[in-house]
Amino acid sequence: MSTETTTESADSDDIDDRTVESAPESQQDESTIDQAPDDEGVPTPAEHEETDEPTPTGPPETFRAAIQSEPLKNILRALRATVDEARVKTDESGIRVRAVDPANVAMDDLDLSANAFESYDATPGVIGVDLDRLWDPVSLANKGDLVQLHLDTESRKLGVAVTGLEFQMACLDPATIRSEPTLPELELPASVTVDRDTLRQGVKAADLVADHVGFRMDPDGEIFQIDAEGDTDSVDFRSDADDWEAVTLADASSLFSLDYMKRIVRTIPAGTAVTIDFGTEFPAILSYDVGDGDGSMTRMLAPRIET
pLDDT tens digits for range 246-259:
999 999 999 999 99
Together in a domain, 148 and 168: yes
Together in a domain, 172 and 189: no
Question: At residue 203, does pLDDT exceed 70?
Answer: yes
Sequential DSSP letters for 97-158? EEEE-TTSSEEEEEEEEGGGSSEEEE-SEEEEEEHHHHHHHHTTPPTT-EEEEEEETTTTEE
Q: Is residue 57 in a domain? A: no
Together in a domain, 171 and 206: no
Is the backbone of residue 76 left (phi > 0), alpha (psi -120 to 50) or beta?
Answer: alpha
Together in a domain, 72 and 156: yes
* CA dist., res. 305 & res. 298, Å (int): 22
Q: Is residue 50 in a domain? A: no
Together in a domain, 202 and 169: no
Q: Is residue 74 in a domain? A: yes
Helix ranges (DSSP H) in the chain: 69-80, 131-138, 196-206, 258-266
Together in a domain, 145 and 211: no
Is the backbone of residue 229 left (phi > 0), alpha (psi -120 to 50) or beta?
Answer: beta
Q: Is residue 238 in a domain? A: yes
Together in a domain, 72 and 155: yes
Question: At residue 268, does pLDDT exceed 60?
Answer: yes
Q: Is residue 216 in a domain? A: yes
- Cα distances (angstroms) measured from residue 29 to each of 19, 281, 285, 307: 28, 12, 20, 9
Question: At residue 47, does pLDDT exceed 90?
Answer: no
| Pairing of β 85-91 and β 125-130 | antiparallel
Cα end-to-end distance, the chain, whole Å: 35
Q: Is residue 105 in a domain? A: yes
* CA dist., res. 140 & res. 147, Å (int): 10
Together in a domain, 126 and 71: yes
From 143, 159, 176, the end of a domain falls on: 176
- Contacts of 300 by beta carbon, 8 Å cutoff, 6+ apart: 33, 106, 107, 108, 109, 183, 283, 284, 285, 286
H or E element in which residue 248 lies: strand 244-248
Domain that holds residue 140: 63-176
Together in a domain, 200 and 155: no
Q: What is the pLDDT of residue 9?
A: 36
Q: What is the pLDDT of residue 305?
A: 75
Residues 93-134 have pLDDT tens digits of 999 999 999 999 999 999 999 999 999 999 999 999 999 999
Q: Is residue 240 in a domain? A: yes
Q: What is the pTM of this model?
A: 0.83
Exposure on the CB side of residue 173, measured as CA atoms within 13 A: 2
Q: Is residue 83 in a domain? A: yes
Q: Are 269 and 10 in contact (CB under 8 A)?
A: yes
For residue 89, the domain's CATH number is: 3.70.10.10
Together in a domain, 207 and 169: no
* CA dist., res. 270 & res. 95, Å (int): 24
* CA dist., res. 273 & res. 252, Å (int): 21
Number of structural domains the chain divides into: 2
From 156, 176, 196, the end of a domain falls on: 176
With CA atoms as reference, report the closest residue to 180 among 49, 15, 303: 49
Together in a domain, 211 and 141: no
Together in a domain, 159 and 222: no
pLDDT category, 306, cuts 50, 70, 90? low
- The arithmetic mean of pLDDT across residues 133-161, rounded, is 96
* Average per-residue pLDDT for the chain: 86
